[in-house]
Amino acid sequence: MRLCFSLFIIILLSSCAESNLTKLKAVYAQEKYQEVPDYSNLQYWAAHPDKKDPSDSVPAPLKASYHPNTNVDVFFVHPTTYLDSTRPYGWYASLNDYKINYTTDYYVVLNQASIFNEAGRIFAPRYRQANIKSYTPNNKVDTGYALAAFDTAYQDVKKSFEYYLEHYNNGRPIIIASHSQGSTHTIRLLKEFFDGKPLSKKLVVAYVVGIPVDPAIYTSLKACETPNATGCICSWRTLHEGFETEFVKKEKYTAIVTNPLSWSNTITNVDRFQNTGAVLYNFNKIIPNVVGAANHGGVLWTAKPHFFGSFLYKTENYHIADYNFYYLSVRKNVADRVNSFLSANNSSTH
């Protein structure tokens, strides 16, 4: 996973004008953060409706039809961008590392959170994320440190969500979206704030992507079964067909797997020609027919991706592209679920 991520970052940064990149890094380097995040300060939000940020970006082919909905909110929890295996800050990241913050904003927020910018207002907190090595500790001592790092990260995410609810939500419907480490924390967030709780009535949908979700964790929250279902969970992990990771082999349950092309639990194998568009190394280019999607146990399988200059030919784990392979499909699906949610709730109030 890390090699794939590094390749993507290299390609992404090489597409930026060097002068602009230098200016951006200079701006990030000047930012100073407290050790504990203060979510009353916009600086502690990677994305927020009250500031201009990469989540506002729209791929060029979509700009003409872009009509954002400000009546719904999206709470996005970003994946790991603290990738230095030497752990210079210990087991969880410093908020003062401008390179981590830059990568979070101009890789993750740009390429993942932007999918949702037409469906609602995007809130994405910065948090003291656990180092990537926390997922593969070497011994019992390291396991203890890793768990503590994950808990520190979750407490930040929880604090940001509580601040969001108190100061920004104002009764709006909520979309939860996350990837990888963000999904590790979101699984817990959904349990604590939505499962069997009054707030579940405000949940449009949760896209909990890149991490296995055990359906038995929840009492009331269920997997989405149809394209327009609301108040439910969508989740998938993308691998090359025939490939199973050691992590998957060790799982004692079948994780939730949503097909991100059909969005149906009865249509589980969709070929790549039904995929209207991916967004990959060039944010402003929509590439159709890149991959298909086939449910297999608790994961999603697809053949090798079809696009010029593919940097994914030599890997079988497509974790990094879980969202971007299906960019247009997710963008349309979240709009459909918002319409379904609003229609149902408008009907119930009349």
Whole-angstrom Cα distance, residue 117 to residue 123? 10
pLDDT of res. 20: 64
pLDDT digits (tens, 9 = 90+) for 54-65: 999 999 999 999
Reply yes or no on whether the pLDDT at 1 is more than 70: no
Bridge partners (DSSP) listed for residue 177: 76, 207
Helix, strand, or coil here: 174? Answer: strand
Residues 6+ apart with CB under 8 A from 86: none
Helix, strand, or coil here: 84? Answer: coil
Domain boundaries, the chain: 2-348
What is the value of pTM for the model shown? 0.93
Cα 179-187-156 angle, rounded to 5 deg: 80
pLDDT digits (tens, 9 = 90+) for 197-226: 999 999 999 999 999 999 999 999 999 999
121 and 73 Cβ atoms separated by less than 8 Å: yes
